[in-house]
Structures are given as structure tokens and as C-alpha cells.
Amino acid sequence: MTKQEYKTLTYRPTQMESNGVGKPHEALEVFFSDFTVEDCRKRLWELYSHWIINHERQGTEHNEASTILLFYTHTEMLIEAAYLLYNKKKRKDAAKEAAPLPEIPVLKPDETLVSITPDETLQQVIQAIVKEALPERIFLINPISDGQSGENLQLELMVLLPETASKPFDEYHNSITAACKDMASVKILIRKAQEVYSFLQQGHIFYSVVCTDKALVYSINTVPLPVPEHLPVAEIREKAYKTFEQDTPKCEAFIDGARYYLLTKKYGIAAFMLQQVVEHLLRAVIASLMNRNVFTHNLTSLLQTCRLCAKEITTVFPRDTDKEKEFFQLLNTAYVKARYTNDYEIGEYEVSILLERVEYLQFRAKEVCTKKIEAFGQSVKSSITQ
């Protein structure tokens, strides 16, 4: 800017540059092409310190000095926030050109679900379970998605055992898993039948949604499933909502920390912060829907449990390609390796991708949890009116 141009600058309290309004990302790109964040901090400090020195000589009032300090602090934060937005778009554009990852599928309600009528593979799995455990009832926890078959078929089943079943659950689980290993990917939840019937009477969200006549795929018990007569549905739902929201402040703090450490290039600590967000979100979903407090830092284990109560959110980390597995492994090992070892390696690109995934998980977890809680209310209402 020339001296003459400088003199033509005027104060415009209500006017914005049309270029900045119409093309904000281009404005950010031009700005950060000329100045780094450190340049901005340095020049902002020079302006502030120059003002302090001059106005101390003139005896500036305390209130005005406090206002200027507040303005300086917020301006510094504004520059950092603008840089994060600029850098996020820059990374996203570069990722699309270099090595685009598959888009995360966002399923609309009932968009890809088909009838839960058992197919041949499901029938084979049921026969294997009956042979190994002699169950009283079997429920299909999640409907079979369209297009799943053979090795791609995932089955989540709840197996209710009679009171006469005497072996530990682990023995039943191991024998069933071994019998079904060549048929499909099978996840089994084993419970005693009378325990589940009691939970149904109490209005347990998870069991009330899963254990319905519609989801029943095997039964030797001719007695109808228990139907609660008087349930404080509103209270149960409110408690579930509050349980999920309890860890929201922690998640927000961790993700803010991840953004800060990404900005300051401390990528290992940023990955640890993101691991904590995922851990707390998954635990919140499980606690809200299943009324279970799961204490583990292992994200694989938490996702396996979520596959039972909120399978939709597990697609955020699909782990269906080598690249996806690598990204998830970086996140899962960050709890220990990013803090206690020197061989944990992660870069800006990986942290940026994980940050976007975790931000999406925040949205998806709340969305799915809300739908499951609402489905509980509808399930109870439907069972009572039948």
C-alpha cells in the first residue's frame, strides 16, 4: 500500500468489503497467503503495545485500557479461528485431489432396510445356536440391510436362555461363535430369559426396542412376551437423554483441545484428545440406551457393544479398507502411545481427517440416540395398545 493509498482509508462502521462477503474463503486465502498466524500475533502485539505505551503517557482511563485489552484478546482468537477454517478447507481440497476417502454413508430412516424375514444363512445360524445352547427365544437385534449376503452379512442376535441353562455365558458364547464362524459375521448377546422379561416390565429401553414379536426369529415359549401396564415413559426417556448429555461438556472440551493442538502442530496430543471424544461419546450411547457403564479405553470394544444398541454410528469408522483400518488404528492407539511412547507417528493430514470424522460422530451419535429413545416410547405405546 502506497502512502497516498494509506491516506485514502476511511472508517466505515456499517460497510463490508463486497469481495469478503461474497467470497469469504478467497478472502481468507489472500490474507493467510500474506501473513502467517505468527505474523498476525506479532503485529497485533506490536499495535497493542504501541497503544499502551502512548496512552500510558497520556494517562488513559482504566476502563478504556481494559476494553482495548479485551479487543486484543478476542482479535487474536478471531485470527486463530479464521486460520482453522481456512486450513480446514485447504486440507479438504488437497485430500480430494490426492487420495479421497470414501464418503461416510448417511442413512435415512428405513432407507436401506428390508424385511427381517430370515434368509438361508440366518436359518443356518439359528440352527447352530439351537444346537449349542438350547435357547428359549432368539431375537434379531438389527434388521438385515439390503445387499448383505455371504461374507458381508452381519447378524446381531440376542439369545435368551432358560433357567435350566447351567454353563457360564462365556462357554455358550465361544461354542456359538465357533459354530457360526464360517457362516457370517455374528455378534451374540446372551441373557437369561427371566432377567430380560423383568427388564421389559421395568421399561428398559434397549430390551423394549429389541424384544418384540417383529424381531423374534425363534421361540419354544408359547407364552406372550410380558407387556408393562403402567410405565413412566416420559421419566425413562428424560433420564436417558440426561445420561447421554452428561459427557457433552467433556467432549466439547476435548475437541476444542484437539483443534488447538492441531493448530500448534502437536499432532500426537491432538489425536489423544480425539480418542477421548470418541471414547466418551460411545460410552454415553451405551449408558443411555443399555443402562450399562462400560469402563474401557479400547474403541474396538466400545464399537462392538454399540453395534448391538446403535449400529448406525459404527459406519463413521467403517474399517473396510487398509486405509480406513490405518486411520482407526492411529485413533485407537492414541490413548497410550501418544502420551507414553516415542514411536507414535501421526501427521497433520491424518489428524485433520480424524477431526472431521469425530465432528461427524458427535452429530450422528446424538441423532441416533434420540431416535432410539423415541422408538422406545413408540414400542411401549404399541405393545400396550395391542
Decide which of 378 and 313 is more confident.
313
Q: Is residue 317 part of a domain?
A: yes
Average pLDDT over residues 272-295: 96
Q: Is residue 131 part of a domain?
A: yes
Q: What are the residue ranges of helices labelled H in the chain? A: 3-8, 18-22, 24-34, 37-57, 62-98, 120-133, 169-180, 193-202, 205-210, 233-245, 248-263, 267-290, 299-309, 322-332, 334-340, 348-385
Q: What pLDDT does 110 receive?
A: 42
- How far apart, in Å, are the Cα atoms of 200 and each of 127, 253, 325, 331? 26, 37, 38, 37
C-alpha–C-alpha distance, residues 333 and 40, integer Å: 35
Between 7-16, 222-231, 294-303, the lowest mean confidence (pLDDT) is in 7-16
Q: Is residue 197 part of a domain?
A: yes
Q: Is residue 200 part of a domain?
A: yes
Between 11-15, 259-263, 289-293, 340-344, the lowest mean confidence (pLDDT) is in 11-15
* Residues 291 and 216 grouped into a single domain: no
Reply yes or no on whether the pLDDT at 74 is more than 70. Answer: yes
Domain finish residue from 201, 230, 259:
230
pLDDT digits (tens, 9 = 90+) for 136-182: 999 999 988 766 666 678 899 999 999 999 999 999 999 999 999 99
* Residues 264 and 364 grouped into a single domain: yes
Reply yes or no on whether the pLDDT at 30 is more than 60. Answer: yes
* Residues 70 and 202 grouped into a single domain: no
Between 19-28, 231-240, 272-281, 339-348, the lowest mean confidence (pLDDT) is in 19-28
C-alpha–C-alpha distance, residues 84 and 351, integer Å: 13
* Residues 141 and 30 grouped into a single domain: no
Q: What pLDDT does 123 receive?
A: 93
Number of domains in the chain: 3
Q: Is residue 240 part of a domain?
A: yes
Q: What pLDDT does 114 receive?
A: 39
* Residues 249 and 356 grouped into a single domain: yes
C-alpha–C-alpha distance, residues 272 and 258, integer Å: 8
Domain finish residue from 199, 230, 261:
230
The most confident of the ranges 40-44, 119-123, 276-280 is: 276-280
Decide which of 106 and 259 is more confident.
259
Q: Is residue 101 part of a domain?
A: no
Among 17, 36, 14, residue whose Cα is nearest residue 264: 36
* Residues 249 and 354 grouped into a single domain: yes
Q: Is residue 351 part of a domain?
A: yes
Between 91-100, 218-227, 372-381, the lowest mean confidence (pLDDT) is in 91-100
* Residues 371 and 237 grouped into a single domain: yes
* Residues 175 and 246 grouped into a single domain: no
Domain finish residue from 91, 110, 140:
91
Question: What pTM did the predictor assign?
Answer: 0.69
183 in Cβ contact with 128 (< 8 Å): yes
- What end-to-end distance do the CA atoms of the chain give, in Å? 78
119 in Cβ contact with 196 (< 8 Å): no
CATH code of 137's domain: 3.30.300.90
CATH code of 291's domain: 1.20.120.330
**At 360, is the pLDDT very low, low, confident or very high (cuts 50, 70, 90)?**
very high
Q: Is residue 81 part of a domain?
A: yes
Q: What pLDDT does 315 receive?
A: 93
C-alpha cell at 107: 442413512
* Residues 164 and 288 grouped into a single domain: no
Reply yes or no on whether the pLDDT at 259 is more than 80. Answer: yes
User: Could you list the residue range(s) of the whole structural domain that residue 194 is in?
Assistant: 120-230
* Residues 32 and 152 grouped into a single domain: no
Reply yes or no on whether the pLDDT at 385 is more than 80. Answer: no
* Residues 137 and 215 grouped into a single domain: yes
* Residues 335 and 262 grouped into a single domain: yes
C-alpha cell at 379: 414400542
